[in-house]
């Protein structure tokens, strides 16, 4: 089971992407838990995640987030176009890629 | 996905990226990297403009009497736009302030 946490400013716009990513995971029979929170809850929630994705609006939190998880987990920013088109498949691909490359 | 929602997400993603760029610019100015800060502001402006153009589609619809339905997502898009603009203005001022501090030191 891979736990993918999405962070944005209020957790609202990312929740649509969560749904799309969850659908994409189901389609490929991948066991994944995808959920979204706002920055205020992100510290607590990041403890349960294997990978953290940031919405483009909170890109500026990238280094702060990496520090928060002591660089033990991959933190990456969702591509603007992937986010803008709510492309669940691509977002999931990017998440899995980041996770794979991190553990190398 | 619905046409309207797509436009909202277009706006949110572009102006959101712009907002982040402006905030990053302030961080860079704080570190004394003024060139980097100014480059970030330029980047932010470009993304903001793209978002603004998407937003114009909504204004055009309302102008031709095609009412835009209220949705929380629309409010979020508008909100992100205003926030991006505020940070744009602030980033320019902050760069100036940090420059002045650096000159004075």
B29-77 per-position pLDDT tens digit:
999 999 999 999 999 999 999 999 999 989 998 899 888 889 888 999 9
Q: How far is A60 from chain B (nearest CA, A)?
A: 5
The band of A74, judged by pLDDT with boundaries at 50, 70 and 90, is very high
Q: How far is B60 from chain A (nearest CA, A)?
A: 21
Q: A with B: how many residue pairs have Cβ under 8 Å apart?
A: 52
Q: What are phi and psi of B33, to 5 degrees?
A: -90, 85
The band of A12, judged by pLDDT with boundaries at 50, 70 and 90, is confident
DSSP A68-86: HTTT-S-EEEPPHHHHHTT
Q: What would the two tokens of residue A37 be?
A: 């929170």
* 8 A C-beta contact, residue B1 and residue A86: yes
In this prediction, residue A1 carries a pLDDT of: 92
Task: Give the rounded distance of the alpha carbon of A61 from its chain centre.
Answer: 13
The angle formed by the CA atoms of residues B57, B60 and B65, to the nearest 5 degrees, is 130
Chain B residues close to A57, C-beta within 8 Å: 12, 16-17, 19-20, 80
A2-103 domain in CATH 3.40.50.2300?
yes
- Sheet containing strand A32-38, edge to edge, reads A32-38, A2-8, A51-54, A75-77
What residues does each domain of chain A span? 2-103
Q: Is residue B65 a known part of a binding site?
A: no
CATH assignment at residue B14: 1.20.58.80
Asked if the model's pLDDT at residue A104 lies above 70, the reply is no
Asked if the model's pLDDT at residue B97 lies above 70, the reply is yes
Q: What would the two tokens of residue A45 be?
A: 């929630």
- The tally of CA atoms less than 13 A away on the side-chain side of residue B87 is 29
* 8 A C-beta contact, residue B77 and residue B51: no
Nearest chain B Cα to A79, which residue? Answer: B13
Q: Looking at the predicted complex, does its ipTM rise above 0.90?
A: no
What's the average model confidence in pLDDT over A85-101?
Answer: 94
- Domain span at B92: 3-104
CB neighbours (10 Å) of residue B69?
6
In this prediction, residue B18 carries a pLDDT of: 97
In this prediction, residue A8 carries a pLDDT of: 85
- A8 forms beta bridges with A38
Q: What are phi and psi of A12, to 5 degrees?
A: -85, -55
Query: Can you point out the beta strands (E) in chain A?
Result: 2-8, 32-38, 51-54, 75-77
In this prediction, residue A10 carries a pLDDT of: 67
- The 3-state DSSP class for residue B49 equals helix
The band of B1, judged by pLDDT with boundaries at 50, 70 and 90, is low
Nearest by CB to A80, from B1, B14, B23: name it. B14
- Contact: A57, B19; criterion CB under 8 Å: yes
3-state helix, strand, coil in chain A (%, to 5): 55, 20, 25
């Amino acid at each position: 089971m891979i736990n993918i946490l999405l962070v944005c400013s209020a957790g609202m716009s990312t929740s649509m992407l969560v749904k799309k990513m969850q659908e994409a995971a189901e389609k490929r029979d991948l066991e994944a838990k995808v959920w979204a929170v706002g920055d205020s809850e992100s510290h607590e929630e990041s403890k349960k995640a294997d990978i953290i994705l940031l919405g483009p609006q909170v890109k500026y939190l990238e280094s702060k987030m990496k520090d928060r998880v002591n660089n033990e987990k991959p933190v990456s920013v969702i591509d603007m176009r992937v986010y803008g088109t709510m492309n669940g498949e691509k977002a999931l691909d990017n998440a899995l890629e980041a996770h794979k490359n991190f553990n190398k | 996905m619905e046409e309207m929602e797509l436009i909202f997400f277009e706006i949110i993603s572009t102006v959101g990226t712009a907002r982040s760029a402006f905030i990053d610019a302030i961080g860079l100015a704080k570190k004394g990297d003024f060139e980097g800060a100014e480059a970030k502001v330029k980047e932010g402006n470009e993304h903001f403009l793209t978002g603004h153009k998407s937003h114009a589609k909504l204004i055009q619809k309302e102008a031709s009497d095609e009412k835009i339905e209220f949705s929380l997502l629309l409010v979020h898009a508008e909100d992100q736009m205003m926030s991006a603009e505020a940070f744009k203005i602030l980033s320019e001022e902050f760069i100036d302030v940090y420059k002045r501090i650096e000159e004075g030191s």
